[in-house]
């Protein structure tokens, strides 16, 4: 028994002593370490090394919370050979490395000694904000709004609208928990331009982004000075809820359904989408929803896609009940495609429900044999100005001849169309003429021989 007690005491003091050594090693290796936000351009990680310790390598490991990917890289120690502070800069200006301001980032360092031993710092979680501004915040139990400057009333208005959205959407998306959401509010477009992800270069030039949602990070960016900032904020917040209500979906929620639901949640909608939808109906430019897993890059056609998505989601809720959307999302979460989800929940497939909607709004029915969009010959789609989502419908009705010549963007054409690359068919008579000329030339050559 005494031997057992003696062994236990030895183990206890050995472990305690070993723990003290590890702690002393950390303190001896590192004077300080941390992360500094330089968003929207990057994150700066630093480690202050004890000058008496010889370091062979430093690794930084970090991730945005709720993202699955862990970033892992090594410091370039040669750049700081004569400096005790070692730094690593992670650029966030490309779409693949983008981090939305307001995200939570977890990070730690691993420092390697010259004898190949290493120590790890304790993980730290820090919220990263746009470094260009000094931020304040307002929050309730579910949402926190970050803002800067004398715009507290705007921030409070957006915070209150978030609770109103929760009331509106709780019957439509009952499985989506409404909590732990961050809204980063900018004051104008020039502030927000560098902070958002631009979907295409043409859209960044011609359309002003007033809001973006990042459901994995639980972050919404919104331009607070917009005339409909409450509408923008609630639209983007709904994207967060849709992401939560469809957790587990391998294929994701179709873009048209996601954007249509976001407009359903918009508490201050304008009428631009509705007006452009009318124009699209009159000119037969409604796109099949089977092609709208990705919206076209042409700004004017993007507005059409938003308008018809909004209208279709409203139709589904009004015709088939407020619980229909959640049931469809549940089917998607179980691995079904959208067509199968519609069949299981509503009893009709997507195309059948779309034709019911088209009949209600007075649009042309989808054909049984195909759902492709055929391009019309002629000029390009009218150019849109910033904030001007669509010209007035009456302007188009006065120029019907011109509209008949409009041609959709190549991105809208169904991929199954043999002319989906935008090429034109060759007249067969032209081929016959070429064949006759070549034949005549060959005949003369043989005759001379």
Nearest to 401 by CA among 376, 422, 365, 423: 376
**CA dihedral defined by 317, 319, 324, 325, rounded to 10 degrees?**
-30
Q: What is the mean pLDDT of residues 299-328?
A: 95
Domain end among 245, 269, 292:
245
Is the residue at 362 inside a domain?
yes
Is the residue at 261 inside a domain?
yes
| Same domain flag for 216 and 252 | no
Copy the structure tokens of residue 36: 């500094």
Instruction: Give the domain CATH number at 118.
Output: 2.60.40.10
pLDDT at 82: 67
Contacts of 6 (CB under 8 A, 6+ apart): none
| Same domain flag for 273 and 238 | no
Is the residue at 224 inside a domain?
yes
| Same domain flag for 257 and 364 | yes
Is 215 in contact with 221 (CB distance < 8 Å)? no
| Same domain flag for 349 and 398 | yes
**CA dihedral defined by 435, 436, 440, 446, rounded to 10 degrees?**
40
Is the residue at 42 inside a domain?
yes
Is 275 in contact with 394 (CB distance < 8 Å)? no
pLDDT digits (tens, 9 = 90+) for 332-389: 999 899 999 999 999 999 999 999 999 999 999 998 644 444 433 333 444 443 333 3
φ/ψ of 68, rounded to 5, equals -80, -25
Of 32-41, 139-148, 249-258, 411-420, least confident by mean pLDDT is 411-420
Is the residue at 8 inside a domain?
no
Domain end among 245, 265, 295:
245
| Same domain flag for 251 and 229 | no
Is the residue at 425 inside a domain?
no
Is the residue at 295 inside a domain?
yes
| Same domain flag for 230 and 265 | no
Q: What is the mean pLDDT of residues 323-330?
A: 96
Of 76-80, 125-129, 142-146, 256-260, least confident by mean pLDDT is 76-80
Q: Flag whether pLDDT at 61 surpasses 60.
A: yes
| Same domain flag for 209 and 262 | no
Cα–Cα–Cα angle for 233, 235, 236, rounded to 5 degrees: 65
Domain of residue 147 covers: 133-245
Is the residue at 288 inside a domain?
yes
| Same domain flag for 209 and 291 | no
| Same domain flag for 278 and 408 | yes
pLDDT at 255: 95
| Same domain flag for 89 and 144 | no
> Quick one: how far is CA 236 from the chain centroid?
10
**CA dihedral defined by 267, 268, 271, 276, rounded to 10 degrees?**
-60
pLDDT at 225: 86
If you average pLDDT over every residue of the chain, what do you get? 79
pLDDT at 143: 97
| Same domain flag for 222 and 273 | no
Q: Number of folded domains in the chain?
A: 3
Q: Flag whether pLDDT at 73 surpasses 60.
A: yes
Strand arrangement, sheet containing 143-147: 136-139, 143-147, 181-186, 219-223, 211-214
Domain end among 63, 93, 127:
127
SS3 of residue 237 by DSSP? helix
Of 22-26, 78-82, 117-121, 435-439, least confident by mean pLDDT is 22-26
Q: What is the mean pLDDT of residues 289-294?
A: 93
128 or 405, higher pLDDT: 128
The top-scoring range by mean pLDDT among 24-38, 99-113, 406-420 is 99-113
| Same domain flag for 226 and 338 | no
Q: How many CB atoms lie within 10 A of CB 104?
A: 17
Instruction: Give the domain CATH number at 207.
Output: 3.40.30.160
């Amino acid at each position: 028994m005494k031997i057992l007690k003696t062994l236990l005491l030895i183990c206890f003091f050995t472990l305690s002593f070993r723990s003290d050594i590890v702690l002393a090693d950390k303190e001896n290796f590192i004077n300080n370490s941390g992360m500094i936000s330089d968003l929207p351009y990057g994150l700066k990680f630093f480690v202050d090394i004890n000058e008496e310790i010889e370091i062979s390598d430093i690794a930084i490991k970090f991730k945005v919370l709720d993202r699955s990917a862990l970033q892992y890289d090594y410091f370039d120690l040669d750049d700081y050979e004569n400096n005790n502070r070692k730094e690593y800069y992670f650029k966030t200006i490309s779409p693949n490395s983008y981090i939305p301001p307001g995200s939570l980032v977890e990070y730690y360092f691993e420092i390697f000694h010259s004898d190949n031993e290493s120590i790890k710092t304790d993980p730290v979680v820090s919220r990263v904000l746009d470094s260009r501004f000094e931020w304040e915040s307002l929050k309730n139990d579910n949402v926190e709004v970050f803002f800067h400057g004398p715009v507290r009333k705007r921030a409070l208005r957006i915070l209150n609208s978030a609770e109103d959205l929760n009331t509106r959407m709780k019957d439509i998306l009952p499985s989506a928990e409404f909590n732990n959401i961050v809204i980063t509010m900018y004051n104008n477009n020039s502030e927000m331009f560098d902070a958002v992800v631009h979907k295409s270069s043409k859209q960044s030039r011609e359309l002003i982004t007033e809001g973006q949602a990042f459901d994995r990070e639980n972050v919404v960016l919104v331009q607070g000075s917009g005339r409909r900032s409450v509408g923008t904020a609630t639209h983007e917040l709904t994207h967060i809820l849709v992401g939560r209500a469809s957790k587990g979906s391998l294929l994701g929620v179709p873009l048209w359904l996601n954007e249509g639901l976001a407009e359903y949640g918009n508490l201050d909608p304008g009428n631009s989408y509705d007006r452009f939808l009318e124009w699209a109906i009159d000119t037969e430019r409604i796109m099949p929803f089977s092609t709208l897993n990705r919206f076209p890059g042409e700004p004017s056609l993007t507005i059409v896609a938003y308008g018809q998505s909004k209208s279709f989601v409203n139709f589904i809720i009004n015709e088939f009940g407020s619980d229909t959307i959640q049931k469809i999302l549940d089917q998607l979460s179980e691995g079904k495609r959208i067509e199968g989800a519609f069949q299981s929940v509503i009893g009709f497939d997507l195309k059948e429900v779309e034709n019911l909607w088209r009949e209600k709004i007075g649009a042309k029915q989808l054909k049984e044999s195909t759902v492709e969009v055929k391009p019309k010959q002629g000029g390009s789609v009218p150019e849109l100005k910033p904030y001007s989502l669509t010209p007035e419908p009456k302007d188009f009705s006065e120029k019907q001849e011109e509209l008949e010549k409009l041609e959709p963007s190549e991105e809208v054409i169904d991929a199954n169309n043999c002319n989906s690359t935008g090429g034109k068919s060759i007249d067969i008579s032209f081929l016959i003429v070429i064949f006759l000329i070549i034949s005549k030339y060959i005949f003369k050559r043989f005759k001379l021989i």
